[in-house]
């Protein structure tokens, strides 16, 4: 029995990296076939409004603070504030190296265990934070859909998507009930969630930080879109980001590379942006939230590791 665990883990790891490699190759092929449009989009970004780009930079920095606030809200213990924010910055860089958010999860898991939490409680805290983030994005999308129905041009597909929600929920519930290990894990998670929500301050930090994190990422896209001179309604741009980030979560690429780019460009185009300008907006979003912070983020990651904070 003990010999099967490493084999199964190795197969899963190979499968995950295989899917990641396939998605990245496909994304590279799409970029190569649209290189002229990409080059023109880069030129548009170079001539963008500096004030809007500065606002986008400020929103990007604020996302790391909001991530730290949400992470603090997911645990009962008081975490060191400075190192917590630094860990979120480092996790952002690591998230663009490993697939499916594994980089950020590993950094935060290591950070929480270094702060004295057990591995189980650290993993539960990360799961709670991720679940709240997913709920926030769903609620935000529904709220935008109700407040501004025109934010989703392809509205005919929404009912079909909503039909899948109870089906997926029933499948997940059946899996939990069928597995004793899953039942125990869910029970422990529910206990930790109740403990966190007994404190109004922790609950506000968890939910408020998650809401602000999602809105600030959408705000980066909005600021870049305005910097490029587009006059799209803000609700349409926010909905485009929410839909694109949700679609990108289904593909295990590092930091959503390729999957988020394509989904966001498609969503902005569907919202009314010209193709080249949509690509410029995606490049600007990627530049601010991923490419520029990566090198300093990896340096912070190394510094935290040297100081035994990770």
Tokens representing residue 165 in the block:
């929600």
Alpha carbon of 262 to those of 142, 306, 309: distances in Å?
22, 37, 36
The CA distance from 68 to 70, in Å, is 5
pLDDT of 284 reads 87
What backbone torsions phi and psi does residue 254 show, to the nearest 5 degrees?
Answer: -60, 115
> How many other β-carbons are positioned within 10 Å of the β-carbon of residue 87?
30
CA dist 43 → 35, 152, 180, 200, 278 (Å): 12, 29, 57, 48, 13
CA atoms within 13 A on the CB side of 62: 18
- Containing domain of residue 226, as a range? 4-306
pLDDT tens for the 310 residues of the chain, in order: 444 444 455 666 565 556 555 545 655 554 555 455 455 556 666 777 889 999 999 999 999 999 999 999 998 889 999 999 999 999 888 887 766 567 788 889 999 999 988 888 888 889 889 888 888 888 888 888 777 766 555 443 444 444 444 444 455 455 545 556 666 666 666 776 777 778 888 889 999 999 999 999 999 999 999 998 888 888 888 888 888 887 766 665 555 566 677 788 888 888 888 878 888 888 889 888 888 888 888 888 888 888 887 7
Distance of CA 92 to the CA centre of its chain: 10
Give 132-139 contacts, CB < 8 A, sequence gap 24+. Answer: 132/70, 132/74, 132/206, 132/207, 132/210, 133/70, 133/210, 133/213, 133/214, 136/207, 136/210, 136/211, 136/214, 137/214, 137/242, 137/245, 137/246, 138/246
| Residues belonging to the chain | 310
Total domains, the chain: 1
């Amino acid at each position: 029995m003990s010999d099967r665990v490493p084999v199964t883990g190795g197969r899963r790891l190979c499968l995950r990296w295989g899917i990641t490699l396939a998605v990245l190759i496909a994304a590279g092929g799409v970029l190569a076939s649209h290189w002229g449009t990409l080059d023109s989009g880069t030129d548009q970004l170079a001539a963008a409004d500096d004030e809007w780009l500065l606002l986008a930079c400020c929103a990007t920095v604020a996302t790391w603070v909001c991530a730290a606030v949400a992470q603090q809200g997911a645990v009962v213990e008081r975490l060191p504030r400075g190192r917590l924010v630094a860990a979120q910055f480092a996790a952002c860089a690591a998230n663009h190296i490993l697939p499916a958010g594994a980089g950020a999860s590993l950094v935060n898991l290591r950070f929480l265990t270094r702060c004295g939490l057990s591995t189980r409680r650290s993993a539960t805290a990360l799961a709670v934070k991720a679940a709240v983030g997913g709920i926030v994005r769903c609620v935000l999308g529904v709220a935008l859909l109700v407040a501004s129905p025109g934010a989703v041009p392809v509205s005919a597909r929404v009912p079909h998507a909503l039909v899948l929600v109870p089906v997926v929920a029933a499948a997940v519930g059946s899996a939990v009930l069928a597995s004793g290990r899953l039942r125990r894990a869910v029970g422990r998670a529910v206990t930790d969630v109740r403990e966190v929500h007994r404190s109004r301050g922790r609950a506000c930090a968890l939910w408020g930080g998650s809401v602000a994190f999602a809105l600030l990422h959408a705000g980066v896209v909005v600021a870049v879109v305005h910097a490029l001179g587009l006059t799209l309604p803000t609700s349409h741009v926010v909905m485009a980001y929410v839909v694109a980030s949700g679609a990108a979560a289904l593909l295990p690429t590092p930091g959503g590379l390729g999957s988020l780019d394509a989904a966001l460009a498609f969503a902005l185009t569907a919202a009314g942006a010209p193709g080249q300008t949509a690509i410029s907006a995606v490049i600007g979003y990627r530049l601010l939230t991923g490419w520029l912070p990566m090198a300093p983020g990896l340096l912070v990651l190394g510094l935290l590791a040297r100081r035994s904070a990770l």
